Structures are given as structure tokens and as C-alpha cells.
């Protein structure tokens, strides 16, 4: 018997490729059907072409994909993709959801202020609406390991500044499906306290991965992350 379908939703400046290396082979091996969406404008690895989609457009893309399936999937959202999943669940349905290094329900105001105070060099990039430039200049926001940063930074693509602004709007709704929140203890963007707040908001299970960075699906702790997900699922 086939297990359920997993739908993976990437975060800022990423694409479906970030799941294809480790997560999809791992979960397919376990018998799951795995689909990774490229949010609008994210299909081309390393593209610096500027895009301007709203966060709602991303949510709509997820709605369209889920609507095309025969049964409700399990949704896995990373970072901004975690907020896309949370927004989708205001009206949409899924069997379960996993929020991985996700933007918290209260939005990105505090994470953004933290980044600006820690790395004032990101300010000019924000004025240019160049999120990709900021992440390339400060790879520690995504990765704690220099070699990994050098490997994956060229694959990141430009992100829509309009979508980023949409991440400032908090979500307040509750969700009826089971939720697992996973965060890294060494995440350069979202704090452990914010992961705890997300779990509390959704009455969700919480796993903090020791030493995990923001890029949990690619960093050295990915094995722990996949094990925790497998156990919870």
C-alpha cells in the first residue's frame, strides 16, 4: 500500500531543488509520494532575474497543486514556505503539516529587526529590495558551515520583495490538523523562542535540532531532521 503524499514548499530564494537532494529520496524510500513545488519565479536555479509576486500568489500556487491531488497531502513548509503553509491552512486542508525553520505566525518583524541590528550591512540591500544580495553577503543567515554556504549560495535565486513584505502580516487563525514545528538551535534568522511561540500558537509538537542552521534540509543535521519527521509522521 502506498503511504500518503508529501508536498514540500521551499522558502525564500530557494526552489524545489533544495528538497530533491536528501529529503525526497529519503521519504520516497519510506514509501511516500513526494512532490516539491517551485513557487512562481523560483524554477530556475541561481536566477538573478527580479520577480514581483505577492505572498498570496504563492499561497494560490500551493492551493492549485493541492487541489489537483486525489487526496489531502501532508504539507512541509520551510522558512517563508512555512508561512505559505500557515496562510493556506486558513481556508485549505491537509492531513498534517510540518513547519521547518518557519516564519512564526506573528510574521518577520522581529527576525528582520534582529538581522538589521546584527548585520547593518544588510540595510543597503533592503533599500535596493535585493534579498538575494543580502543572503549572499551574509550566508550565515542560512548556513553555519562555510563549505555548505559556498556549495549552495550559487543555487539561490532572486526573491520577490513584495512577498517578503507580505511576511510582516501576522496570522491569527487556529488550525485543526496535527502540526510539528522543527527549528535549529543555531538558526541565523528565526530564534528558538520564536519556534516555541509557533508551537504554542498551534498547540503543535516541537523539536529543536541541536546545532541546526536555518537551512535544515541541507545542513549537517538533516539526518536528525528527517528522523524526527519520520517518527512523527
CATH number at residue 107: 3.40.50.1820
Per-residue pLDDT of the chain (233 residues; tens, 9 = 90+): 568 999 999 999 999 999 999 999 999 999 999 999 999 999 999 999 999 999 999 999 999 999 999 999 999 999 999 999 999 999 999 999 999 999 999 999 999 999 999 999 999 999 999 999 999 999 999 999 999 999 999 999 999 999 999 999 999 999 999 999 999 999 999 999 999 999 999 999 999 999 999 999 999 999 999 999 999 99
Total number of domains constituting the chain:
1
Burial track 32-71 (b if 16+ CB lie within 10 A, e otherwise):
bebbbbbbbbbeeeebeeebebebebbbbbbbebbeeeee
Query: What span, in angstroms and rounded, lies between the C-alpha atoms of 135 and 118?
Result: 14
Domain range for 93 is 5-232
Q: Can you say whether residue 62 is alpha, beta or left, with left for phi > 0 and alpha for psi between -120 and 50 degrees? A: alpha
Helix (H, G, I), strand (E, B) or coil at 107: coil
User: Grid coordinates 540595510 are at which residue?
Assistant: 123
Query: What span, in angstroms and rounded, lies between the C-alpha atoms of 24 and 192?
Result: 26
Put simply, whether the predicted model's pTM sits higher than 0.85 gets the answer yes
Amino acid at each position: 500500500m502506498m503511504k500518503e503524499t508529501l508536498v514540500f514548499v521551499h522558502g525564500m530564494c530557494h526552489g524545489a531543488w533544495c528538497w530533491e537532494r536528501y529529503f525526497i529520496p529519503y521519504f520516497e524510500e519510506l514509501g511516500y509520494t513526494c512532490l516539491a513545488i517551485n513557487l512562481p519565479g523560483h524554477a530556475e536555479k541561481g536566477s538573478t532575474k527580479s520577480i514581483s509576486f505577492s505572498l498570496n500568489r504563492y499561497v494560490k500556487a500551493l492551493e492549485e497543486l493541492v487541489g489537483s491531488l486525489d487526496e489531502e497531502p501532508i504539507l512541509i513548509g520551510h522558512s517563508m514556505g512555512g508561512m505559505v503553509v500557515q496562510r493556506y491552512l486558513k481556508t485549505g486542508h491537509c492531513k498534517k503539516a510540518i513547519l521547518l525553520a518557519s516564519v512564526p505566525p506573528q510574521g518577520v518583524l522581529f527576525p528582520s529587526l534582529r538581522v538589521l541590528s546584527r548585520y547593518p550591512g544588510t540595510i543597503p540591500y533592503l533599500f535596493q529590495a535585493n534579498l538575494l544580495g543580502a543572503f549572499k553577503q551574509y550566508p550565515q543567515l542560512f548556513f553555519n558551515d562555510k563549505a555548505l554556504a559556498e556549495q549552495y549560495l550559487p543555487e539561490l535565486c532572486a526573491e520577490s520583495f513584495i512577498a517578503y513584505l507580505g511576511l510582516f502580516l501576522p496570522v491569527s487563525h487556529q488550525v485543526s490538523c496535527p502540526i510539528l514545528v522543527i527549528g535549529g538551535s543555531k538558526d541565523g534568522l528565526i530564534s528558538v523562542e520564536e519556534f516555541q511561540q509557533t508551537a504554542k500558537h498551534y498547540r503543535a509538537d516541537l523539536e529543536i535540532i541541536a546545532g541546526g542552521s536555518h537551512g535544515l534540509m541541507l545542513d549537517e543535521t538533516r539526518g536528525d531532521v528527517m528522523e524526527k519527521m519520520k517518527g512523527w509522521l
